[in-house]
């Protein structure tokens, strides 16, 4: 029996000595070196008793070794479970308790905080650091690379990625080998990625954008990748002349535009700029083209689906739109009340169907059922319209989602923490336009009668509980929250009130 993803992404490169990952201040990692390291990591997973279908939770900084661990999980047949490096120990505790991984791999700096969590869940703990050191790598290095490739079919799970929950409880999106490979094959063809491409990669690899979209397409195409720890304007300016492609979030583009070194000459050899994970302002799109002569290709995807739509590679890339449904993906926009298809330029809820769409939420069958229509379309929760030329516009969200710097944030999760703070009777969290992050989190607090809220103390507590990207960038205290006649908090009113918070 085959191993679907391994056979497509890794097996063809067994003897390939081409550079795969071009690393800052380090020797490049070649394809065949990745295969060997992945086989050692697969051997180590076997040695600790990890079997096909077991979860491997990973909260590590971006490195070549982290990619090898992903590849080792594919070879061993384990389910890769990447976790945001910004998550606090209390956040990681939820994921470990929910997913019951056989091992949690973390940075040495977090070992002491995570060891009790691992112990409480009968989960082994190992370390893997940004420089490639750590107990997991050290133990694996003593083993011979295993030649065994665990059989995995198209419907077997390859990964679980957790998304923020509207009720504060995160959901584990289950992604199969078929989901990931079908989308990778489509993107390589649609964006015309080849083995002559060099991708400039400054994205995190605990997110579908940096891990599956960027890394999987590089592997399938046999391309090379300039693999930077994170986005840094100086690094990007230095490496752009060596690249042919760039994938980024809108913040990458706004920061490049603010740097005087971005010129038409600097990017004259670039083949493709791609943006996603958050809405790209039409102004950014147009400013980038005016300065560089290049039109950014904006696409639209989700953790649960990978990529759904894309502006065309050959054809008009229309600012303010996310293009058309990708080959093999069906999209429709329906009225949220009647379920009827909307007309041209009419706003409704976007639904998608295709092999890219996930297999449901981990241990949440009831929630999964609610998110799909009877005929198998996934209800994205995004409000959209389709213009007369067929371009899809994402115009809003019917869920209370905030997207800041490309990260999804659900207010309820933050409000649950704020409501527990001394002196706070209730809270509301909304977004305000932010010049760098797109949207910034604003917390509105209401105090108990006669009490004063110590904002600095609240900030300290929030910092120990929530990842930094979720922490409010501004706090406001009001006497009461605006409500409608049904008693529901009017967040639209609050958003209007705080709209100038970061201007």
Q: What are phi and psi of 407, to 5 degrees?
A: -100, 135
Q: What is the mean pLDDT of residues 349-369?
A: 96
Residue 448 pLDDT grade (very low, low, confident, very high; cuts 50, 70, 90) = confident
Q: What is the mean pLDDT of residues 480-489?
A: 72
Q: What is the mean pLDDT of residues 64-69?
A: 98
Q: Is 402-497 a domain of CATH 3.30.300.30?
A: yes
pLDDT of residue 122: 97
Residue 300 pLDDT grade (very low, low, confident, very high; cuts 50, 70, 90) = very high
Query: Which CATH number is associated with domain 4-153?
Result: 3.40.50.12780
Q: What are phi and psi of 495, to 5 degrees?
A: -60, -40
Every domain range in the chain assigned CATH 3.40.50.12780: 4-153
Looking at the predicted structure, is the pLDDT value of residue 219 above 70? yes
DSSP string, 31-69: HHHHHHHHHHHHHHHHHTT--TT-EEEEE--S-HHHHHH
Lowest mean pLDDT among 286-300, 344-358, 437-451: 437-451
| Vertex 156: Cα angle to 150 and 157 (nearest 5) | 100
Q: What is the mean pLDDT of residues 182-204?
A: 98
Report the mean per-residue pLDDT for the chain. 93
**Tell me: the pLDDT tens digits for 143-152?**
999 999 999 9
Looking at the predicted structure, is the pLDDT value of residue 486 above 60? no
% of the chain exceeding 70 in pLDDT: 97
Half-sphere exposure (CA, 13 Å, Cβ side) for 27?
6
Find out whether 45 and 143 touch, Cβ atoms under 8 Å.
no
Query: Which CATH number is associated with domain 191-295?
Result: 3.40.50.980
**Tell me: the pLDDT tens digits for 38-61?**
999 999 999 999 999 999 999 999
Q: Where are the beta strands (DSSP E) in 140-292?
A: 157-163, 171-176, 198-201, 224-227, 245-248, 272-275
Every domain range in the chain assigned CATH 3.30.300.30: 402-497
| Vertex 490: Cα angle to 487 and 495 (nearest 5) | 165
pLDDT of residue 489: 80
DSSP 341: B
Element (H, E) at 386: strand 378-386
Q: In what order do the strands lie in the sheet with 306-310?
A: 29-30, 19-23, 224-227, 198-201, 245-248, 272-275, 297-302, 306-310, 324-325
pLDDT of residue 34: 98
**Tell me: the pLDDT tens digits for 92-136?**
999 999 999 999 999 999 999 999 999 999 999 999 999 999 999
Q: What is the mean pLDDT of residues 462-491?
A: 86
Every domain range in the chain assigned CATH 3.40.50.980: 191-295
Per residue, what are the HEC states of 85-111?
CCCCHHHHHHHHHHHCCCEEEECHHHH
Q: What is the mean pLDDT of residues 242-259?
A: 93
């Amino acid at each position: 029996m085959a191993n679907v993803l391994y056979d497509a992404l890794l097996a063809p490169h067994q003897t390939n000595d081409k550079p795969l990952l071009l690393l800052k201040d380090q020797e490049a990692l070649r394809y065949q070196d990745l295969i060997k390291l992945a086989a050692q990591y697969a051997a180590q997973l076997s040695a600790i008793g990890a079997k096909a279908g077991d979860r491997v939770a990973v909260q590590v900084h971006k490195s070549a070794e982290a990619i090898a661990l992903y590849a080792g999980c594919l070879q061993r047949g384990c389910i890769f479970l990447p976790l945001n490096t910004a998550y606090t120990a209390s956040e990681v505790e939820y994921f470990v308790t929910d997913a019951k991984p056989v091992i949690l791999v973390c940075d040495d700096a977090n070992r002491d905080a995570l060891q009790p969590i691992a112990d409480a869940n009968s989960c082994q703990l190992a370390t893997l650091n940004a420089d490639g050191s750590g107990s997991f790598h050290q133990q694996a290095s003593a083993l011979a690379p295993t030649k065994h490739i665990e059989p995995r079919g198209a419907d077997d799970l390859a990964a679980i990625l957790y998304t923020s929950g509207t009720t504060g409880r995160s959901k584990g999106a289950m992604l199969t080998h078929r989901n990931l490979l079908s989308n990778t094959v489509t993107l390589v063809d649609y964006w015309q990625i080849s083995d002559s491409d060099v991708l400039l990669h400054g994205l995190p690899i605990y997110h579908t954008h940096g891990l599956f979209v960027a890394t999987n397409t590089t592997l399938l195409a046999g391309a090379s990748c300039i693999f930077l720890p994170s986005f840094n304007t100086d690094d990007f300016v230095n490496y752009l002349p060596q690249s042919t492609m760039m994938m980024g979030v809108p913040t990458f583009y706004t920061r490049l535009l603010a740097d005087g070194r971005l010129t038409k000459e600097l990017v004259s050899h670039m083949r493709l700029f791609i943006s996603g994970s958050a809405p790209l302002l039409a102004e950014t799109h147009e400013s980038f083209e005016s300065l560089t002569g290049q039109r950014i290709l904006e696409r639209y995807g989700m953790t649960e689906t990978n990529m759904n739509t894309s502006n065309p590679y050959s054809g008009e890339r229309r600012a303010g739109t996310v293009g058309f449904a990708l080959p093999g993906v069906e999209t429709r926009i329906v009225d949220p009340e009647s379920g009827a298809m909307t007309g041209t330029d009419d706003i409704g809820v976007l639904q998608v169907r295709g092999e890219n769409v996930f297999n449901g939420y981990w241990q949440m069958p009831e929630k999964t059922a609610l998110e799909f229509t009877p005929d198998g379309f996934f209800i994205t929760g995004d409000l959209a319209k389709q213009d007369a030329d067929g371009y899809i516009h994402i115009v809003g969200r019917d869920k209370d989602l905030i997207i800041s710097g490309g990260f999804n944030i659900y207010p309820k999760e933050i409000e649950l923490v704020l409501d527990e703070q001394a002196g706070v009777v209730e809270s509301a969290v909304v977004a305000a336009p932010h010049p760098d992050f797109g949207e910034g989190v604003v917390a509105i607090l209401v105090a108990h009668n006669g009490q004063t809220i110590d904002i600095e103390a609240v900030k300290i507590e929030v910092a120990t509980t929530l990842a930094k990207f979720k922490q409010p960038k501004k706090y406001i205290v009001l006497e009461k929250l605006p409500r409608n006649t049904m008693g529901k908090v009017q967040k639209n009113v609050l958003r209007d009130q705080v709209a100038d918070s970061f201007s």
